[in-house]
Amino acid sequence: MVFRHKEAKLVTISAVMPTYARTDLVFERGEGLWLTTVDGRRFLDFGAGVAVTALGHSHPHLVAALKAQAEKVWHTSNLYRIAGQEKAAERLVAHSFADTVFFCNSGAEAMECALKMSRRFHQAQGFKEKFRVITARGGFHGRTLATIAAGGQEKHLDGFAPMVDGFDQVAFGNLNEARAAVTANTAAIVVEPIQGEGGIIPAAPEYMKGLRAMADEFGLLLIFDEVQTGMGRTGKLFAHEWSSVTPDIMALAKGLGGGFPAGACLATERAAQYMTPGTHGSTFGGNPLAMAATNAVLDVMLTAGFFETVQAVSAKLWSKLEAIVARHPKVFESVRGKGLMIGLKCKVPNNEMVSKLVAEGLLTVPGGDNVVRLVPALILGDAEIGEAISIIDRVAGQMAA
Ligand SMILES: *Cc1c(COP(=O)(O)O)cnc(C)c1O
């Protein structure tokens, strides 16, 4: 503990508000999938800053784009047109179900926009009673008051009462429960195509189809939270592309700016028709720097063959992980997820596994349901796969012993 004296008062809280239990590592630089600490230790990064640095660290195209923009103009506000924002929006629209995009800075804000839009869609049509949103248990949508209510997890809500009203939680994957939760007050349904923080739990394609049909039958808006699953993470630009289902609204963030804070809420024209001037806003959202990073990410991801390569590399990683899981039945239960959004379901405590992997030089992220998340940059190669596999194999061996 660090003690500091501040005006005659003994202060014991760290200057950085202690809302995280941080691992004692300080990184100085990164290149590709490798991070180096200030004291020169190298780590293989399969956490990617919680599924954010989708193109690795210091990607030359991203660095060049951000540097070039930094020398022109950083921020102008949404009082003016922003060329990079228009370009990024047009590209996201061209490559998705959506007709329009709102830019913000984080996943929680993207979800906040989605939730507000779903209320306004009904209320602007005179249905003032429609505001409730059906959400899935185990879901995660951010840490604002509304999104912790949407996520409904006790550990996130504790001490922050009263809970924002308007969320009805049902079991993830259960269509009957979702249908039974619909009332005259329901405005929308929210689901992650693969629950991320909840422990890398994929939604079955029939469940996604069922939710779409249900939304259409009851006149509800279907919202996909693709903050973690989006931007190529599963081997397609958006995870819902693996099913035949499209949402009315979708939240993006994490990989969108490749490490520069950027979020987006995409919607069909129908869902967004009442989002007129003055209804929503963000001072920073979609500023020139964020859009330079976002457009650079899109330049790389929209290059022909990019997703085929991601799918091929994930297939290699998956086959090696499946072999490891089979080799260490006392340590691992299964491997699940899609593409490079991978959960190792453990039989040993996941936090212990994550710490031991760090000690051997591999960074991963713990998730719900006793899972270790592997969410490496999409530019992963054979060398990094080999290195990660040998570390996981070694640690699993130690833990089995
Ligand atoms: C990370 C995450 C969020 C929250 O994003 P922030 O940028 O931390 O606000 C929301 N939804 C999902 C699915 C996420 O994985």
Domain map of the chain by residue range? 4-58+305-400, 73-301
Query: Strand pairing partners for 345?
Result: 334, 371
Ligand 1 atom nearest to 225, measured from its CA? 13
Is the Cβ–Cβ distance between 281 and 291 less than 8 Å?
A: no
CATH number corresponding to 73-301: 3.40.640.10
pTM of the model: 0.97
Check if 106 has its Cβ closer than 6 Å to any atom of ligand 1: yes
Q: Taking Cα atoms as reference points, which of 332, 109, 314 lies closest to residue 225?
A: 109
Ligand 1 atom nearest to 106, measured from its CA? 7
Ligand 1 atom nearest to 253, measured from its CA? 7
- Tell me if domain 4-58+305-400 and domain 73-301 are identical in fold: no
Q: Which fold has domain 4-58+305-400?
A: Aspartate Aminotransferase, domain 1 (3.90.1150)
Q: Taking Cα atoms as reference points, which of 136, 95, 101, 113 lies closest to residue 231?
A: 95
Phi, psi (degrees; rounded to nearest 5) at 304: -55, 135
Check if 226 has its Cβ closer than 6 Å to any atom of ligand 1: no
Phi, psi (degrees; rounded to nearest 5) at 70: -60, -30
pLDDT tens, per residue, the chain with 401 residues: 556 667 767 899 999 999 999 999 999 999 999 999 999 999 999 999 999 999 999 999 999 999 999 999 999 999 999 999 999 999 999 999 999 999 999 999 999 999 999 999 999 999 999 999 999 999 999 999 999 999 999 999 999 999 999 999 999 999 999 999 999 999 999 999 999 999 999 999 999 999 999 999 999 999 999 999 999 999 999 999 999 899 999 999 999 999 999 999 999 999 999 999 999 999 999 999 999 999 999 999 999 999 999 999 999 999 999 999 999 999 999 999 999 999 999 999 999 999 999 999 999 999 999 999 999 999 999 999 999 999 999 999 999 98
Check if 224 has its Cβ closer than 6 Å to any atom of ligand 1: no
Question: In the 3-class helix/strand/coil scheme, how is 381-392 assigned residue by residue?
Answer: CHHHHHHHHHHH
For residue 27, which amino acid is it?
F
Structure tokens at 188: 């929308």
CA of 9 to the centre of ligand 1 (A): 37
Cα–Cα distance measured from residue 53 to residue 56, given in angstroms and rounded to the nearest whole number: 5
Phi, psi (degrees; rounded to nearest 5) at 341: -115, 90
Ligand 1 probe mutation, 254, 265, 282, 284, most atoms within 8 A of CB: 254
